[in-house]
Chain A
C-alpha cells in the first residue's frame, strides 16, 4: 500500500512570504496529523484532524498557521507570513481509526522549510 505522501520535499522562502504544504494520507485513514520538527528537537503536534473535523489545534500558532482537510482526505498546511523561526521539517502522519492517540501513526517523508 502507498505511504503518506507530502509535497514539496524542500522549500526555501524569505521571511514574510507565504508557503503551503500538501499531504495525502494512506487511503482509508481517518485521522491526519501535522507536526513541526525543529532541528535538534522532537516532532511537535500542530493539529489533528479526524475525517474533516479538527480534534485538537491547541499548539497551532493560529495568527499565521492554518490547515484544512477538505472532504476528509488530503490536507494543506499554510504559513502566512513566515518567520525565521518557522524553519523546520513539517511532518504529516495518518492513522487508520478515529480512536485517539493510541493508534499507530504512519509518517510521510516531511517537507523541509528554510526561511531566510
Chain B
C-alpha cells in the first residue's frame, strides 16, 4: 500500500512571495501522483498530476510540481502567489486499485 506525508499542515505567506508545499510518498510499486486543491466552500478539484514522461508538470494557474523518484517527493511550487491561491492543498498517490491522500496543507496568502 502507498502512503503520503505532507510535511506542513499550514503555510502562511505574503502575496507575491514564492511558496513550496512539500509532499513525500512511499510505495513499493509504480505510482501516479496528484495535487488536488480545495478552495473555501468548494469541492476538491485537480490541480495537476504526474502519470509518466517529463518529471515536471504544470497547472494552468502557475503552479508546478516535480516528481523526484530518488527522494520519493512531489513538491508543489509557485514563484509568486496571489490572494486567490488561499486554499487547502492535498497531495495524493495512487497505485493499483489504491489511492491515498495526505492530510493536507492549508496555504494562507496574506496581503
Contact = CB atoms under 8 A, between A and B. Distances in A.
A106 B45 CA distance: 6
B43 A56 contact: no
Given A44-B101, A55-B97, A102 B44 contact: no
A58 B95 CA distance: 14
B32 interface: yes
A72 interface: no
B102 A102 contact: no
Interface in A3-61: 3-4, 40-45, 48, 55-56, 58
Interface string A103-116: 01111111000000
Contact of A107 (B43, B51, B94): B43
A101 interface: yes
A101 B43 contact: no
Interface residues of B, number: 24
A108 B100 CA distance: 18
A42 B94 CA distance: 14
Nearest to A102: B32
Interface residues on A, range: 20 to 34
Which of B36, B51, B96 counts the most chain A CB atoms within 10 A? B36
A91 B95 contact: no
Contacts of A102: 32, 49, 51, 94
B104 A101 contact: no
Interface in B67-111: 90, 92, 94-104
B43 A43 contact: no
Contact of B97 (A42, A48, A104, A107): A48
Closest 8 CB pairs of A and B: A42-B101, A101-B94, A107-B44, A107-B43, A102-B32, A56-B97, A43-B101, A104-B46
Interface of A: 3-4, 40-45, 48, 55-56, 58, 91, 93, 100-102, 104-110
Given A42-B103, A100-B97, 11 more contacts: A42-B6, A42-B90, A42-B100, A42-B102, A43-B101, A48-B97, A101-B96, A104-B49, A105-B44, A106-B45, A108-B43
